[in-house]
Amino acid sequence: MKAVYKRQSDVSVLKAVRKNAFAIMQIKEQTEAISLEAVRQNGFALTWVEKQTEAICLEAVRQNGLALMWVEKQTEAICLEAVKQNGLALRFVYEQTEAICLEAVKQDGYALMWVEKQTEAICLEAVKQNGLALQFVKEQTEAICLEAVKQNGYVLRFVHEQTEAICLEAVKQNGHMLQFVHEQTEAICLKAVKQNGLNLQYVKDQTESVCLEAVKQNQKAVEQIRDEAMFVAVCEKLAIEYLVE
């Protein structure tokens, strides 16, 4: 039910804060309704609210999670709403819980940098949201690394201990990451060239099967074949015209 304002002055003030939330700075007699309207327009107006209530703080952080920095008495409910709106608001949480941290990294994986007590569950959610959050993981596991490279193959560069499974997922997401694979296998190379034939340039041991798949994906990849005999063999099998100097 909408509140009914009997005094015209209240109505005028409400109109003022709706137009400019920071008009609250000029209001001598603030009411909860006026404060609520102000923070709904701009969460940062909370800094000018004279008497904070949980309801006012909740509205403020729903509008802008970073308004949590101005909350005088934090509750788990307020903190949860803040990090749901902006995961990076986690840096302003006084008492972190796993639930708050999980919501924060779900909203922004980079919030992991502010997590005081990392768990595998929190790290997994962080890298699922943003693979680059892997660089903030204190204890990497294969499961965490797999989720990270699935989201962004580029983060293979941040993996401490590469496995074939991790590398396969990385090049599947981004074939160019083959250049950062420490121990290439034919399976990894095949996955990379199937994603983009031009990734043949990063293959250390160019086997016929790998070369064939690369050229099938992109005929220009034939130019990346280093061995002349292999070049001729692939061209003949795929009926590609060529000139050997």
pLDDT band at 8 (very low <50, low <70, confident <90, very high): very low
pLDDT tens-digit map of 27-52: 888 889 889 999 999 999 999 999 99
| pLDDT for residue 243 | 57
Q: Mention every residue, 6+ apart, whose C-beta is less than 8 A from residue 146.
A: 165, 166, 169
Considering only residues 18 and 106, tell me which one the structure prediction assigns the higher pLDDT: 106
Average pLDDT, the chain: 92
245 token code pair: 């100097």
pLDDT band at 133 (very low <50, low <70, confident <90, very high): very high
Long-range CB pairs of 24-28 (<8 Å, 24+ gap) are: 24/48, 24/49
Long-range CB pairs of 92-96 (<8 Å, 24+ gap) are: 92/66, 92/68, 93/68
pLDDT tens-digit map of 201-232: 999 999 999 999 999 999 999 999 999 999 99
Average pLDDT score over residue span 175-180: 96
124: amino acid identity, one letter: L
| pLDDT for residue 233 | 93
Q: How many CB atoms lie within 10 A of CB 30?
A: 17
Q: How many CB atoms lie within 10 A of CB 52?
A: 17
| pLDDT for residue 240 | 85
User: Exposed, middle or buried: residue 226 (CB in 10 Å: 0-12, 13-18, 19+)?
Assistant: exposed
Q: Is the pLDDT of residue 2 over 60?
A: no
